[in-house]
Amino acid sequence: MAFDLTGKTVIIVGGAGYIGAHVCKAIADHGGIPVTFDNFSSGHEHAVKWGPFETVDLRDKASTLEAFKKYKTAHSVVHLASSIEVGIGEKDPSGFYENNVIGAFNLLEAMRELALTNLIFSSTCATYGETDQMPLLESQVQNPFSVYGKTKLAIEHMIQSYHNAYGLAYITLRYFNASGADSSGLIGEEHDPETHLIPIALAAAAGLRGKMKIFGTDYDTPDGTCIRDYIHVSDIAGAHICGLKAFANGLKSTEVNIGTGQGVSNLEILQMIETVTGLPVAYDAAPRRAGDLTRLYADPERAKEVLGFTAKHSNLENIIQTAWTFHRGVWNLK
Ligand code: UDP
pLDDT, one tens digit per residue, over 73-129 is 999 999 999 999 888 999 999 999 999 999 999 999 999 999 999 999 999 999 998
User: How many Cα atoms are found within 13 Å in the side-chain-facing hemisphere of 261?
Assistant: 11
pLDDT (tens digit per residue) in 143-166:
998 999 999 999 999 999 999 999
Q: Specify the residue with its C-alpha closest to ligand 1, atom 19.
A: 196
Q: Specify the residue with its C-alpha closest to ligand 1, atom 24.
A: 86
pLDDT (tens digit per residue) in 323-333:
999 999 999 99
Measured over the CA atoms of residue 68, residue 71, residue 76 and residue 79, the dihedral's sign is negative
Instruction: Tell me the CA distances in angstroms from 315 to 55, 60, 218, 230, 277, one per residue in order.
Output: 36, 40, 27, 9, 16
Report CA(196)–ligand 1 centroid distance (Å).
Answer: 5
Report CA(57)–ligand 1 centroid distance (Å).
Answer: 28
Mean pLDDT of the chain: 96
Q: What domains can you pick out in the chain, each with its CATH number? A: 9-179+230-259 (3.40.50.720)
Residue 309 DSSP code: -
Q: What is the pLDDT of residue 14?
A: 98
Residue 269 identity? I
Ligand 1 pocket (Cβ < 6 Å) reads 86, 177, 195-197, 200, 212-215, 226, 228, 266, 289, 292
Report CA(87)–ligand 1 centroid distance (Å).
Answer: 9
Q: What is the pLDDT of residue 83?
A: 93
Q: Which residues pair with 9 in a beta bridge?
A: 33
Report CA(197)–ligand 1 centroid distance (Å).
Answer: 5
Report CA(239)–ligand 1 centroid distance (Å).
Answer: 23
Active site residues: 148
266 Cα nearest atom in ligand 1: 14
Percent of the chain with pLDDT over 90: 93
126 Cα nearest atom in ligand 1: 25
Which residue pairs from 58-62 have beta carbons closer than 8 angstroms and sit at least 24 positions apart in sequence? 58/13, 58/99, 58/102, 58/103, 58/104, 58/106, 58/107, 59/98, 59/99, 59/102, 59/103, 59/106, 60/106, 61/106, 61/109, 61/110
pLDDT (tens digit per residue) in 266-302:
999 999 999 999 999 999 999 999 878 899 999 999 9
Q: Best substitution site from 83, 146, 196 to test ligand 1's pocket, by max atoms within 8 Å of Cβ?
A: 196
Instruction: Tell me the CA distances in angstroms from 260 to 130, 175, 228, 235, 257, one per residue in order.
Output: 19, 10, 10, 10, 9
Burial of 279 (0-12, 13-18, 19+ CB in 10 A): middle
Q: Best substitution site from 127, 213, 228, 295 to test ligand 1's pocket, by max atoms within 8 Å of Cβ?
A: 228
